[in-house]
Amino acid sequence: TAGAKELAKEWMKVLEKDAKVWDQNAFNDLFRRGNRPSTSKDRTFSCYSGKCTCGILNVASFGSGHTFFVQRQYEAVPHEPYVLHATFQFSGTEGKRHRMREAELWLDPPEYYDPPGGLLVYTPTWMVPAGKIKMLPREKVAAKKLATDTHFALVHYQLGELRRAMALAGALGRTLVLPPLLCGYDRWWAPHTGKIPGSGSWTLPFLCPADHVLDLPPMLGALKGQNGMPK
């Protein structure tokens, strides 16, 4: 529409004027200008000083990096997503790429799945060692230190297994396939009570993306081209 084109042009002007302006915040400021409360049953509302009509999309169909890769709302509904946006993630480009691979949405060449020396796969053990079980995260009490300790005990046990598997893969000349990881806590950039604010009835613990636990860029960069490199 004419209004959408005008919004895009003004957005570009704001970004070109100041390189320090965050593109997302600039867009939010513009489209919220002159917003009016919605009385529409389809959840649309007037925005950008009345020049555009905005709407709220179903997060199961239009997934963010959290609702798709972390909450997995498309499995709970169940509903085939229309599109997803690799946001709310860590480890930069490597993190985005690996999340796509975990979801079987990334197209790799055949040789990626047939590296020299073959692959090493193992079934992880999801457990908290005896003496470390204190309290699993629960709403309202998840911020307590006991729940935090349990989360770290759960993750540290898996890291120990992963470390041994990487050593074995290197000794055998194979490439390790990263296992699924189980987390007791969500990961976010600000204080939280076990999961990102606004995530509703989503329950803990959960299968978490690799970038919730591992720093993928230096890890993959250091091992690139070597046997034992995780995939």
pLDDT band with cut points at 50, 70 and 90 for residue 59: confident
Q: Name the residue range of residue 43's domain.
A: 2-55
Considering the domain architecture, whether residues 215 and 122 belong to the same structural domain is answered as yes
Domain stops at, among 15, 31, 55: 55
CA–CA gap between residue 75 and residue 104 (Å, rounded): 14
When pLDDT is averaged across residues 59-69 and rounded to a whole number, the result is 90
pLDDT digits (tens, 9 = 90+) for 139-148: 555 445 667 8
Cβ proximity of 229 and 176 under 8 Å: yes
Co-location of 117 and 18 in the same domain:
no
Q: Is residue 197 part of a domain?
A: yes
Residues 43 and 127 in one domain: no
Rounded average pLDDT over 178-192:
90
> Is 69 part of any domain?
no
- Answer yes or no: is 118 within a domain: yes
Confidence of residue 107 (pLDDT cuts 50, 70, 90): very high
Is the pLDDT at 85 greater than 70? The verdict is: yes
Based on the domain organization, do 122 and 192 belong to the same domain?
yes
Q: What is the pLDDT of residue 223?
A: 55
Residues 119 and 210 in one domain: yes
Do both 123 and 218 map to the same domain? yes
Q: Are 79 and 60 in contact (CB under 8 A)?
A: yes
pLDDT digits (tens, 9 = 90+) for 118-133: 999 999 988 776 665 5
168-180 residue pLDDT tens: 999 999 999 999 9
Q: What is the pLDDT of residue 179?
A: 94
How many residues are there in the chain?
A: 231
93 within some domain: no
In a domain, 179, yes or no: yes
Does residue 228 register a pLDDT over 50? Answer: no
Looking at the chain, the whole-number percentage of residues with pLDDT higher than 90 is 52
The pLDDT value given to residue 227: 45
Higher pLDDT pick, 158 / 221: 158
Domain end, chosen from 10, 40, 55, is at: 55
Same domain for 128 and 33: no
Whole-number pLDDT of residue 77: 78
Task: Please report whether residue 87 resides in a domain.
Answer: no
Strands 119-120 and 52-55: unpaired
pLDDT of residue 57: 86
Domain assignment present for 31 = yes
Residue 104 resides in a domain: no
**Contact (CB, 8 A) for 101 and 95:** no
- Report field, pTM of the whole predicted structure over 0.85: no
Residues 41, 118, single domain; the answer is no
Question: Domain check: are 122 and 48 in the same one?
Answer: no
For the chain, how many structural domains are there in total? 2
